[in-house]
Structure 1
Amino acid sequence: MSISWLYLCNALALGAMMVFVPVIGPLIRELGLQEWHSGLVVAISGALWMLSAQRWGKASDNKGRKPVLLLAICGYLASYALLAAFFDMALDASWPVLSVLAILILLRALLGVFYAGIPVTSAALLAENTPPGRRTQAMAGLGAANAMGMVVGPLIGGLLAVWGLTLPLYFAAVMPLLALLIVFKLPDHKPVAQAVQPALKLTDARLRLPVLSALLAMSGVITAQMCVGFFAMDKLRLPADAAAQAAGFAMATVGMVLVLVQAVLVKKLTLSASRLLVLGASVACVGFALMMLVDGLLMLLLSYAVMALGLGMVFPAMQALAADSVESARQGAAAGAVSAAQGLAMVIVPLICTGLYHLAPVLPYLLAAFMLLLLSLAAWRWHISTEVVTGEI
């Protein structure tokens, strides 16, 4: 298996998704929708992500990684092209708000369903081809590739938004096409499961900490993504195009820090996955709390950089814990369970954070800080209870 090609595929896929982040706030406002409408769109998309993630993982165990990955990317490409065309038409016409909202929900849901299959299948493919002792570093490499997408995507969205809010979406629709061409370079993969395997439950004791980590950490990510455009307009008092650029710079900063953390720092650290999780959640908590002090672009970028420093440790630790918890034939199921927890966050968090934002722009960030504090405490308790016998404390 060519790891570099798999990494590049994920960078392009997430990069396309992240192009949407800096323009979503201004687009919602231009269409005459409200903040909670964007929360509803992402929540419904997250529900379908949650329901489909475990199915993608199970399918990759039973049908093979490459064909499932190809199917997911093809659907992702088609969904993104339709979404870009819809926004263009909706901005040029006076459509009823309910019609705009319904179509947006449908297309964004399709985008989420097909994207869910890409990280799930990729993580399973990587895990089964990496020895247990090296999985944290391997997952950090995958995270670094995704972070490259987080750098490129928001920058594209922010810079191209100057020439039109829909132009970044058309560019983004091309990125999954490149990923599709890359996947054809991967070797064929035979199913690892000897018999059809059922999906793992989110409550499976082996996956309890990874699933909790995915839920709480993804809640923070969603909060940071959904609120940054609105925050730039309301708190920093920027116009729509400048707010889109500021949001793009913030998310690009996140991506650059994630690249450095996961490509360099995580690979240098000798911490166990659980201890890395404790450290990462604690640092990310500080980053979200710093949003109370933001009064300009530089402070916004600093806060998002500290968030990324912590989350860059959380995600590879979480994925390594999940991969180490199951045998090779269940890697897809384990990755699917973790991704389903992330999808669950996309169901419950958007409406909560946009509702809190309406009360005060900083409230969603404080809630995210509290959730990451809880994650840090839970990870430390798990570490004490499971690894004290190894003398790693």
Structure 2
Amino acid sequence: MTSNPPTVAPRAETASPQIPLLLSAVFLAFLGQMTLNPIIAPLSREVGLAEWQIGVTISVAAVMVVTTSQFWGRRSQSWGRKPVLVAAFVLATTAMVLFALLAHLGMNGVINGVLLFALFVLLRGVGFGTAIAAVPATAQAYIADVTTDEQARVKGMAGVGAVQGVAMIGGAVVGGVLSALGLIAPLIAVPILLALGLVLVAFRLRRETGTELIGRPAKVRPTDPRVWPFLLAGFGMFTALGFIQVITGFIVQDRLGLDPETTGVVTGGALLAAGLGMVLAQAVIVPRSGWSPATLLRARGSVALIGFALLIFDAGAVLLFAAILLIGLGLGIAMPGYTAGPTLLVGRDEQGGLAGLTGATTGLTFVIAPTAGTALYGAWQPLPIVVGTVIMATVTVFVIVHPRFRQVRAAVSDSAAR
């Protein structure tokens, strides 16, 4: 291994790790987010917003993830996981209660135009984007802190992805089913789910003692040679995903000729297919495979590439669903390699900063991709899918040829013993 080994050993737990509880918090946060996804396209049209305005709203949320993830990741080590997650869930719940009220007023014509758009950006973009950034960064930093070898680390990080995949399935079901009752129903469900997450972390999560905290967590530079190849690969994967994720509802509605309520239901089914692929990958394939992070990235991105390529063609619902399933499966296998790989190469005092950096890298992809994707979709419907396919192909080649993905295989326990 050519990288510097970690200089700070994982901390000794005085009680059993609460990884399942942290994963439950991630699940509830993303279930709230995913419940909104099936209705965002028809909702935008119901309140009179253009596709590009929804793209801007999502991009602003991504900007907040980029700018706050490192802050949250380091604070989770210095303040403790519980204060960070309580603050995040309070902010998320408040923002989405107000967002539901705003959407209701917009659908009834009470608020419209520039004011409606500005409030969409403020609540869904700034408020919720800032809050959601804290949750995966905190969970990933915690998992890196309490796991001591490569296999456990990969399994733990895959758990984060698996619960996000389950949340995608649950959100597709909840959002899709509730949308049949009207677009306001899923909007009411979102803050309720977030409030459940708040109750969970407030009453069940232990607060760390002073000896378990790190007074001054280290920053990790994105140009650090230990981590930048992983960050670049992750950036490419999530950029490709971002080009299609926000337009899925528009693809479903336009290709299949559906009304707004039916679009919500069918879009929920499409997101369900992607979630099934991710859950199969991260809950079954990755934990049982024993593959290293490099192998996960190097050998499995091609599956997602096939899905992207198939999605270009307008050949009916079956091909559309199959393509989205393959995208979820391929990215679900590759993502634990992106999140776990660099954690094996840095010290304990760097884990919070690294978790924030991976979150920021993911968020950065959604700064440009949703706005660009919706704009390209308006110009020519297959264009954002073509662009996403090209990006995914480039990532696939990069992880095959770059030496980092042929060399890195680290064990934290061995490095910490040096």
TM-score tier, shorter chain, comes to over 0.9
1:24 partnered with 2:43: no
Higher mean displacement: 104-113 or 77-86: 77-86
1:150 aligns with 2:168: yes
- Find the counterpart in structure 2 of residue 113 from structure 1: 130
1:275 Cα offset (Å): 1.5
Q: How far, CA to CA, are the matches of 1:75 and 1:10 in structure 2? A: 15
Residue 13 of structure 1: how far off its partner (Å): 0.9
Report the Cα distance in structure 1 between the residues aligned to 2:380 and 2:363, rounded to whole angstroms. Answer: 26
Q: Once the two structures are superposed, what CA deviation does each residue of 1:170-219 show, in whole Å capped at 9, x if it has no partner?
A: 11111111112222312222465644234322222222022213322222
Any stretches of 5+ residues in structure 1 without a counterpart? Answer: none
Alpha-carbon separation, structure 2, partners of 1:154 and 1:385:
34
Q: Secondary structure at the match of 1:205?
A: coil
Query: 1:181 maps to which residue?
Result: 199
Q: 1:225-240 maps to which residues of 2 (within 5 A)?
A: 225-240=245-260
**2:312 aligned with 1:292, yes or no?**
yes
Letter in 1 for 2:70: Q
What CA deviation, in whole Å up to 9, does each residue of 1:272-305 have, x standing for no partner? 2112112232111111110123422222111100
CA–CA distance in 2 between the matches of 1:101 and 1:388? 46
Q: Residue 149 of structure 2 aligns to which amino acid in structure 1?
A: P
Superposed CA RMSD in Å reads 1.8
Q: Give the 3 Å change call, closer, same or farther, for CA 103–290 of structure 1 in structure 2.
A: same
Aligned partner of 1:123 in structure 2 is 140
- Aligned sequence identity (%): 29
| Unaligned segments of structure 2, at least 5 residues | 1-16, 411-418
**Residues in 2 aligned to 1:97 and 1:367: alpha-carbon distance in whole angstroms:** 31
Cα deviation digits, residues 209-231 of structure 1 (max 9, x gap): 22213322222332332111111
Kindly report which structure 2 residues correspond to 1:193-342, keeping only aligned pairs within 5 A, or say none. Answer: 194-342=214-362
Q: Which amino acid aligns with 1:255?
A: G
Change (3 A) 1:384 1:123: closer
Cα deviation for residue 385 of structure 1 reads 6.7
- Rounded Cα–Cα distance in structure 1 between residues aligned with 2:133 and 2:122: 16
* Deviation beyond 6 Å, 4+ runs, structure 1: none
Match among 407, 412, 415 for residue 387 of structure 1: 407
Contact 1:46/1:112 (8 A) holds in 2: yes
Partner of 1:36: 52
Q: TM-score, normalised by structure 1?
A: 0.94
Give the letter aligned to residue 84 of structure 1.
A
CA–CA distance in structure 2, aligned partners of residues 302 and 313 of structure 1: 17
CA distance in 1, matches of 2:380, 2:407: 41
Cα deviation code 1:19-51 (max 9, x no counterpart): 111111001111111111111111112111110
- Give the distance between the partners of 1:218 and 1:146, measured in 2 at CA: 14
Among candidates 70, 73, 76, match of residue 57 of structure 1? 73
Alpha-carbon separation, structure 1, partners of 2:219 and 2:409: 31
Which residue number in structure 2 is paired with residue 167 of structure 1? 185
- Structure 2 residue 105 is the aligned partner of structure 1 residue 89: yes
Contact 2:105 2:111 in 1 (8 A): no
Q: Deviations over 1:295-324 (max 9, x none)?
A: 222221111000011010121111111211
| Counterpart residue identity of residue 189, structure 1 | E
2:189 is matched by which residue type in structure 1? Answer: F
**Is 1:6 aligned with 2:26?**
no
Retained in 1: the 8 A contact 2:32–2:190?
Answer: yes
More helix by share: 1
Structure 2 equivalent of residue 343 of structure 1? 363
Aligned residues of 1:141 and 1:262 also touching (Cα < 8 A):
yes
Which shifted more, 17-26 or 192-201?
A: 192-201
SS of 1:242 mapped into structure 2: helix
Count residues in correspondence: 390
Is this contact kept in 2: 1:257–1:305, CA < 8 A?
yes
Query: Structure 1 residues 233 and 288 mapped into 2: Cα distance closer, same or farther (>3 Å)?
Result: same
Once the two structures are superposed, what CA deviation does each residue of 1:79-138 show, in whole Å capped at 9, x if it has no partner?
111111110111112434111110000001210110100010011111111113221111
| Alpha-carbon contact 1:275-1:380 (below 8 Å) kept | no
Residue type matched to 1:38 in 2?
A: I
Contact 1:285/1:368 (<8 A) preserved? no
SS at match of 1:93: coil
TM-score (norm: length of structure 2): 0.89
Contact 1:21/1:225, CA 8 A, preserved across alignment: no
Would you say the 8 A contact 1:61–1:330 is kept in 2? no
